[in-house]
Chains A and B, each alone.
Chain A
Amino acid sequence: MDELDILKQHWKKDQNFPKVNKEEIRRMLYKSSSSLVKWIFIISVIELFVGLLINFLAYKYDIFEKEENNPFEIFTNIIDVISYLVIFYFIYAFFTSYKKIKTTNNTKDLLSDILFTRKTVGNYIKFNIYMIIFSIGISTVQLVWEEDIINKSVGHNIMFFTLLCIVMFLVGWLTISLIKLYYRVIYIRLVKKLDQNYEDLVKLDQEENAINI
C-alpha cells in the first residue's frame, strides 16, 4: 500500500473541520473578493486610464507652441491620432479578454485567460515606452530645428549638441527605469504564482509530446 492510499483512508474519515453555519456563509457572500484577478483588474484599469490621461494632457498642454507652418505639427497630429486608436484598441482587448475569465473553465484555460489579459496590459505599457522614446526623438529634432544651428558658431553648436544629448539621455533613461521598476514591482508580483502554475501545466504537455516523438 503506498503513502497516498494510507492518506486516502484517513482523508475519507476526516471531518475535523470548523463547521461554518448558514449565517456565516450568508455574510461571506457580501464580502469583497481579494483575488489575484480582482487586483489584476484594478491595477490594469488604473494603468490604462493613466496612459489615456497622460496622452490627453500632453495633447492639451502641448510643450511646444503651435506655430503657423510648423512642419512638425502634421506629424505630431498623426502620432496623436494613432496613439489614441492604439489605446482604445488596448482598452477594448483588455475588457474582452477579462470577460472570458471564468472559474468554471479548466485550470489551464483559466490560467491562460488571466495571463493573456494581463499580457494585453503589459503590451500596452511597452507601447507607451516606445511612444516615450519616440517623442523624445521628435522633441530633440524639434529643438535642433528651433535652435537655428546654421547661423550659430561651431563652438556654440558643439556645446548645444553635447548638452542636448546629455539631457535627452537622462530624461529617457530616468523615464524608462521608473517604468521598468514599476513593472517589476507590480507586474511580476501579481503574475508570479500564475506564471509558475501555468508553466507547470504546459511542461506536462511538452513532456507528453516528447514521449510521443
Chain B
Amino acid sequence: MNKNLEQEFVNLLEDNQNILHKICKLYTVDLASHQDLFQEMVIQLWKSYPKFKGDSKFSTWAYRVSLNTAISLYRGKKTKIETVDWDYSLANIRYEEYNSETEDNLKHLYDAVRQLNDIDKALVYMYLEDKDYTEIAETLGISEVNARVKMNRIKSKLKQMLAKKGVV
C-alpha cells in the first residue's frame, strides 16, 4: 500500500483515536488488554481502509469496524501477544490508575457496564456516543424496535446491579 495512503490513515487515526480508546475502556479490564485490543483495531481498520470511500465520516466508519473487532475478532488477552510499546510517561497513566475514576459511583457504573455481555456493551457504547436508534440498529443488524427495547432492559439491569451494591 502506498505511503500517501498510510500517511493519510495515520493522521486520521491519530485525531480519532479516542473512539478506539473508549471502546477499549468498556471491553477490557486492564491496560495490557487495552493495548492489545487497540492494536488489533488499528490492524483491522488499516486492512479495510483501502475500501473506505469517504461516503461516511471517518469516525462513523471507524467505530463500526472497531466495535466489530471487539465483538467478533478479539480473542481476549490469554497469551502474550507482541504489542507496540507505548510511552507511558507521555500518557501519564499507570496500570493501577486504570479504571480509577475519581468518584466512587462512577467507578461502580463502569464496573457494572463491563459486566454486561459484548452486545449489550456495544449498545451502551453507542448510547453514550449519542448515536440514534436507527444507527444503533443498523450497526448491530437488528431492528430499531429491538434496539430500543434492549436499551431499556439494559438500563434496568444496570439499576439492579448497582442497587445490589448499594450504590443507588
Q: Is the CB of B122 within 8 A of A16?
A: no
Q: Is the CB of B72 within 8 A of A36?
A: yes
Indicate which residue in B6, B40, B74, B141 contacts A106 across the interface (CB closer than 8 Å): B141
The 6 closest A-B pairs by CB, nearest first: A108-B141, A18-B91, A106-B141, A35-B73, A17-B21, A28-B42
Indicate which residue in B17, B120, B146 contacts A20 across the interface (CB closer than 8 Å): B17
Q: Is the CB of A4 within 8 A of B158?
A: yes
Q: Is the CB of B142 within 8 A of A205?
A: yes
Indicate which residue in B69, B106, B119, B127 contacts A10 across the interface (CB closer than 8 Å): B106
In the assembled complex, A207 has its CB within 8 A of some CB on chain B: yes
Return A12 CB to nearest CB of chain B, in Å: 8
Q: Is the CB of A207 within 8 A of B155?
A: no
Q: Is the CB of B10 within 8 A of A22?
A: yes
Q: Is the CB of A31 within 8 A of B72?
A: no
B142 to A, closest residue via Cβ: A204
Q: 1/0 per position for B120-140, CB-CB distance to A under 8 A?
A: 101010011110000000111
A114 to B, closest residue via Cβ: B72
Return B168 CB to nearest CB of chain A, in Å: 7
Q: Is the CB of B145 within 8 A of A208?
A: yes
Query: Complex formed: what's the CA distance from A27 to B68 in Å?
Result: 22
Residues in A whose Cβ lies below 8 Å from that of B29: none
Q: Is the CB of A34 within 8 A of B91?
A: no
How many chain B residues sit at the interface, stated as a range, is: 35 or more
Q: 1/0 per position for B1-29, CB-CB distance to A under 8 A?
A: 00000100111011001100110010000
Q: Is the CB of A3 within 8 A of B40?
A: no
Return B148 CB to nearest CB of chain A, in Å: 11
In the assembled complex, A147 has its CB within 8 A of some CB on chain B: no
Q: Is the CB of B75 within 8 A of A196?
A: no
Residues in B whose Cβ lies below 8 Å from that of A54: none
In the assembled complex, A67 has its CB within 8 A of some CB on chain B: no
Return A36 CB to nearest CB of chain B, in Å: 5
A101 to B, closest residue via Cβ: B72
B contact patch SS = helix
Residues in A whose Cβ lies below 8 Å from that of B65: 103-104
Q: Is the CB of B64 within 8 A of A104?
A: yes
B12 to A, closest residue via Cβ: A25
Q: Is the CB of A34 within 8 A of B146?
A: no
A-B contact pairs, 8 of them (CB 8 A): A7-B106, A8-B128, A18-B88, A18-B90, A24-B84, A33-B40, A207-B149, A208-B146
Q: Is the CB of B146 within 8 A of A111?
A: no
Q: Is the CB of A107 within 8 A of B72?
A: yes
Q: Is the CB of A18 within 8 A of B86?
A: yes
Q: Is the CB of A36 within 8 A of B73?
A: yes
Q: Is the CB of B64 within 8 A of A201?
A: no
Residues in B whose Cβ lies below 8 Å from that of A33: 40, 43-44, 47, 73
Q: Is the CB of A2 within 8 A of B155?
A: yes
Return B150 CB to nearest CB of chain A, in Å: 6
Q: Is the CB of A4 within 8 A of B146?
A: no
Return A158 CB to nearest CB of chain B, in Å: 55
Q: Which of B40-97 contact A (CB under 8 A)?
A: 40, 42-44, 46-48, 51, 61, 64-65, 67-69, 71-76, 81-84, 86-88, 90-91, 93
Q: A36-B72, A201-B119 are in contact. Are A11 and B128 (CB under 8 A)?
A: yes
Q: Is the CB of B139 within 8 A of A107?
A: yes
Indicate which residue in A4, A104, A200 contacts B48 across the interface (CB closer than 8 Å): A104
Residues in A whose Cβ lies below 8 Å from that of B75: 34-36, 39, 193
Q: Is the CB of A6 within 8 A of B106?
A: yes
Query: Complex formed: what's the CA distance from A35 to B130 in Å?
Result: 29
